[in-house]
Amino acid sequence: MSKRTVKKLITSPLAAAMKAIKTKLGYDAVKSNPRRRNASVSTKSEDRELTVAGRQALSSMGRDLVRNLSLAGFVLRTHNQTVATLNFKCAIPNQAEYNELVKRWMYHWSHRSQCDVSSRHSLTALMTLAETHRVIDGDVGILKCRNGKLQIIEGDRIRNPATDTRGDTYEWIHGVKVGNAGQAYRYAIHQRKEGGGFEFEREVSAEHLILCGYFNRIDQIRGVSLLAPAINQFRDVYESIDYALAKAKLSQLLGFKTTRLDDTELTEDGLTEAITNLGAGAIHFDLRQDEDAAMIESQTPATQFQDFLQNVIRIAFAALDIPLEFLMPNIANYYSNRGALDRYIDSCRKKQEGLIDALNEITDWRIRMAIADGDLPPPPGGMDIEEMLWWCDWEGARLPHWRMIEDAKDTLTAIQCGLTSSKKSARLYGNDFDENIIETAEANRMAEEHGVFLAFTQPIASINIGT
């Protein structure tokens, strides 16, 4: 064997190994592969990716799903039940009476006749509708009116005007006039025409309108619907259910076959009474001797189809971080369901930040107006309004009350060990600790007056909570 042949035998495996290593270098995700669709390279902003027509189509498909698919409505209601539920707190230290006065005023202003410009919805209902529009349309405008009321502006009503009447150099992006840094200056509000379409109504300053939405990128001006990644899955479920029902109906049809030995016409009188009296749902095949017919029979719906549909629903639910266990509790055990609930509450807290920021801004604006108009007394003790507003806040995304009883022993141990506080634990379940103390003191006073013994008057260390 020649030296050249030996060298070739030695180097060939090494060369093959080096070639294999080189092919593994870099990011596989950016390499083309005939087995999957190549991702297009785009340097556009999110507002350019989703055009005006695309934004309108996305909102229309989302609304259509909520109208016609009960599963989409369930997802939206479940989301709103937690995310759109918030409580107002005013906790100025050592000012229990003034705190209660502010909370009572806010409660009164939250009535539909006081806070809604159309006098149709309470503040809670307005926030629920705002969250609905955030999920479906991507964002929603909350307009602060001069009379101290709010007006909800649906996202598709905020659009570029036909002409810029102000003549400056700022850019309009999807109805928002923005500066070089992306800050919003003005919003162009349109009204709906009776026959469809939009007509320019007015421009409002960004100072008076809160644009509350869901954002994925830092330079994004308008929000994008949370349902965007799941709309196709929901539509697939909707269509698959229709097909499955059609197949189920077909499988329930009862067919009879009659075969003739000659070409004589078979009249209705030739059919037996049993066949003619079957009514709707029966099919009669009138066949010649050389013809045949058979009904396709299968399990309807098949187990594989049901499993596949369940996985598609799980993917669709993931768009709003909703566990499938909420719809089908039987697919998991108690501890899995409890863990799913805890993870869902954590995700809701993040989604609530936009609503809480909007409500805090509304509270700041409205309380200042109420104090200026004399509807609410100024803060006591020489405290200025700015400092007083620091103690006003909105809270939400709390655990259900049944968990409070279940976790009582662990919560008590954590408080005694200094790992948490009574106020933090109360907030976790949507309770106001200061309010509880005041009401407990009042209950103790009344019990003493009437000679009634209350169990919670015992020292907390002596209370035996569960095992």
Q: Which among 222, 220, 214, 229 is positioned nearest to 355, based on CA atoms?
A: 214
pLDDT at position 39 is 65
Q: State how beta strands 171-173 and 176-178 pair.
A: antiparallel
The Cα–Cα gap between 48 and 46 comes to 5
Q: Which residues of the chain have pLDDT under 70?
A: 1-30, 36-39, 164-169, 249-301, 397, 402, 456-467
The token pair at 87 is 């409580």
CA atoms lying within 13 Å on the CB side of residue 88: 26
| Separation CA 103–CA 158 (nearest Å) | 33
**Domain regions of the chain by residue span:** 46-228, 230-317, 398-467
**For 132-142, how does the pLDDT look when each residue is reduced to its tens digit (9 = 90+)?**
999 999 999 99
Only one residue has tokens 């009582």, namely 408
- Within 10 A of 348 (CB to CB), how many other CB atoms are there? 21
Look at the alpha carbons of 326, 330, 334, 339 in this order and tell me if their dihedral is positive or negative.
Answer: negative
Q: What is the pLDDT of residues 7-21, one digit of tens each?
A: 554 556 666 666 665
Tell me whether strands 282-288 and 254-260 are parallel, antiparallel or unpaired.
parallel
Question: What are the C-alpha distances in Å from 160 to residues 90, 164, 189, 390, 453?
Answer: 40, 9, 9, 37, 68
Distance CA 401, CA 403 (A): 5
β 171-173/150-154 pair status: unpaired
What pLDDT was estimated at residue 256? 53
Looking at residue 264, what is its pLDDT? 58
pLDDT at 274: 44
pLDDT at 114: 94
Quote the pLDDT of residue 340: 83
For residues 63 and 106, is the Cβ–Cβ distance under 8 A? no
Looking at residue 457, what DSSP letter applies? G
Length of the chain: 467
Q: How far apart are CA 82 and CA 249, in angstroms?
A: 39
- The reported pLDDT for the residue numbered 265 is 57
Token representation of residue 284: 């009669």
Chain CA centroid to CA 89, Å: 24
* Tokens read off for 38: 């190549």
Strand partners for 254: 282
Q: What's the pLDDT score for residue 22? A: 56
Euclidean distance between CA atoms 345 and 357, whole angstroms = 18
What whole-number distance in Å separates Cα of residue 437 and Cα of residue 426?
A: 11
Unique residue bearing structure tokens 């308008």 = 222
As a whole number of angstroms, the distance between CA 60 and CA 50 comes to 14
